[in-house]
Amino acid sequence: MSGPNTSIEPEGEPAPHPRRSFLKSAALWTLGAALPGALTLRYFTNRRPKPVPGRILGASAKTGHLLREGRFPAPSKVETTDTVIIGGGISGLSAGWWLERNHQTSYRILELEEEAGGNSRSGRNQISAYPWGAHYLPIPGPEARYVRTLLEEVGVIRGYSSKGLPVYDEFHLCADPGERLFLQGSWQEGLVPQTGAGSRDREEYREFFSLMDRFRKERGSDGKRHFAIPLELGSADAKYRALDRITMKAFLEERNWHSNYLHWYVNYCCRDDYGATYDRVSAWAGIHYFAARAGIAENAEPQHLLTWPEGNGWLVSQLRKKVEPRIRTRALVHSVRNEGGKVLADHFNPDTGETTRIQAKHAIFAAPRFVANRIVPELASRGTPASVGYSPWMVANVSLSSLPGGRGAPLSWDNVSYSSPALGYVVATHQNLNLHPKKTVITYYHPLSHTDPVSARKEAHQRTHTEWCEMIIADLSKTHSGIAEVIENIDVWVWGHAMAIPEPGFITGSDRKAMAKPVGKIHFAHSDMSGIPIFEEAQYRGVMAAKSVLRELGIAQREDS
């Protein structure tokens, strides 16, 4: 990820195009000749920013909150199926995919929102498709076999080389340049701060990355890597368990690493992956980010990524194609319980005001745990397991009439500012093959990690579109003066519960273990059971739950690749 600090062809700031602004002035002269001078003068002295078009979107918090009130009509219809899947995010879709692969078609996926996809949802406007959440997938490492199976199926892996390494379709690999960082007034390549880094910083970088490299390669007594994706397939060895008792910040300090740059970088990575600052995230989880990724590919480097204009929304659309007819959207599941050897899943349709009951042989509960605690009565009676903390996020898609430039390294896929409280922005048109895209959409990510999740969530839901726009524009203007002039639209998505935060003790704790246990015929599948909110974990949990169901149904499973 760290690249040499070269600077290539500085591009201009997205200042208003000189021609256009001149024409504007010219038009003003004409206007001035026609209208009283006073009006012209007023135009200059009283130039307020125009309101930015756009709106707030977001997971249906309102519908979801109906659960709190808990009053739903009794079921007016009963349907039967073999498996009911609650939640159409990556886990639920993957569970469905796995059932399909094993020729099971008697299942239903119940999704609260208007569209399946969960945190990997995406949108589209006239300029481009763009992500609303997860936006990339690292090249899968040795353990992530189900990810590879999926990628083979959808043509991202085109085959295997003579060495047995997967060959990727290069159009899906994140194009160069991948990342840049705005630091001390100009853009540098890569996200590890280089501009102004002293020998102490560099020394600590070296130590840090070589330690991470060691963690990446090291295997436990069972021959498995300590840090693996999916996490469940890592070593059972207890060697590094202690790291889960301290925070990532404490870990750096224990090692006597004090470089501000290193601390910034590691903190950035925690905010990026977990939506929480490094003084809240477990060191084990923090290290997992660096040590677990070990992509294997014939034609890409281990740290390379797969990405699409709509981010992981592309993967969602691939998965959705396979399970589409069985998805039911706008289905607010309000009760899931075992009864008489069956699972009853009651769901409410906010449009018709009716509740439908699905009577299934099995259920896969693929919604977040905080929802499960509320609607699976057996869980509640068992005593709520660890309250998992969920971080709220704000994601904005900003349409621009010209590409953002800046001094130093050129526009990259991921563009980060050192001083920003947000994570920066990703360029939706980055993978385009067009020579000169004129307009673009940038996806701006802001984990609301400045305060505790509950108050941050409350604050976020109260903010108006105008307030969000002001925040976003003020932040972007620090790296791109004049960007306000080229903004055409800002849509904002507030994720109240974007991802589970792996706080110290969670990953190695007993609560997490308990979360994985089925309740009667209800199997659980969600990335928050791993504590690492990534596609691979969500998919793994979904596939694993589908496998349990298939086993219980007595179906011989297809175990290829």
Binding interface with another protein (CB under 8 A) = 6, 8-9, 18-19, 21-22, 25-26, 28-29, 32-33, 36-37, 40-41, 170-171, 173-177, 299-301, 304, 410, 433-436, 438
Taking the least distance from each CB to another protein, the nearer of 58 and 138 is 138
In the complex, least distance from residue 32 CB atom to another protein, rounded to whole angstroms? 5
- Nearest approach in angstroms of CB 125 to another protein is 19
Shortest separation between residue 188's beta carbon and another protein, angstroms: 14
Give the distance from CA 331 to its chain's centroid. 23
Q: What tokens were used for 100?
A: 């399909």
Which CB sits closer to another protein, 37 or 554? 37
Strands (E), 45-153: 56-58, 75-86, 107-110, 122-124, 129-131, 137-138
Q: How many residues does the chain have?
A: 561
Q: Among residues 14 and 385, whose Cβ is nearest to another protein? A: 14
CA distance 350 to 414: 38
Considering beta carbons, is residue 248 or 300 the nearer one to another protein? 300
Query: Is the CB of 26 or the CB of 236 nearer to another protein?
Result: 26
Alpha-carbon gap, residue 313 to 130, rounded angstroms: 8
DSSP 3-state assignment of 78? strand
Cβ proximity to another protein: between 186 and 373 the closer is 186
Separation CA 429–CA 436 (nearest Å): 10
Nearest to another protein of 158, 465 (CB atom): 158
Q: Using H for helix, E for strand and C for coil, what is the string for 496-558?
A: EEEEECCCCCCCCCHHHHHHHCCECCEEECCHHHCCCCCHHHHHHHHHHHHHHHHHHHCCCCC
- Nearest distance from C-beta of residue 405 to another protein, angstroms: 11
What is the CA angle 174-136-60, rounded to 5? 145
Q: Which is nearer to another protein, 37 or 51 (CB)?
A: 37
For residue 268, CA distances in Å to 29, 446, 506 come to 49, 11, 21
Q: How far is CA 274 from the centre of its chain?
A: 9
382: Cβ–Cβ under 8 A, 6 or more apart, which residues? Answer: 519
Quote the least distance from Cβ 174 to another protein, whole Å.
6
**Long-range pairs for 209-214: beta carbons < 8 A, 24 or more residues apart:** 209/2, 209/290, 211/255, 212/287, 212/290, 212/291
The distance of closest approach from Cβ of residue 394 to another protein in the complex, given in angstroms and rounded to an integer, is 29
Half-sphere exposure for 372 (CA within 13 Å, toward CB): 31
Within 10 angstroms of residue 482's Cβ, the number of other Cβ atoms is 13
Tokens, residue 549: 């169901």
Peptide bond into 368 cis (omega under 30): no
Question: Which lies closer to another protein via its Cβ, residue 10 or residue 220?
Answer: 10
Q: Which residues of 282-317 are buried (b: 16+ CB within 10 A; e: fewer)?
A: bbbbbbbbbbbbbbbbbebeeebbbbbbbbbbbbbb
Shortest Å distance, C-beta 170 to another protein? 5
Q: How far is the CB of 482 from another protein (least distance, A)?
A: 13
The residue among 41 and 454 lying less far from another protein, judged by its C-beta, is 41
Q: Least distance in Å: CB of 549 to another protein?
A: 38
Q: Closest approach of Cβ 21 to another protein, in Å?
A: 6
Q: Which of 408, 373, 377 is nearest to 388 (CA)?
A: 373
Shortest Å distance, C-beta 227 to another protein: 24
CB of 163 to another protein, least distance (A): 17
554 torsion bin: left (phi>0), alpha (psi -120 to 50), beta (else): left
Lookup: tokens for 156 = 């991202």
Q: Which residue lies nearer to another protein by CB, 40 or 329?
A: 40
CB nearer to another protein: give 435 or 556.
Answer: 435
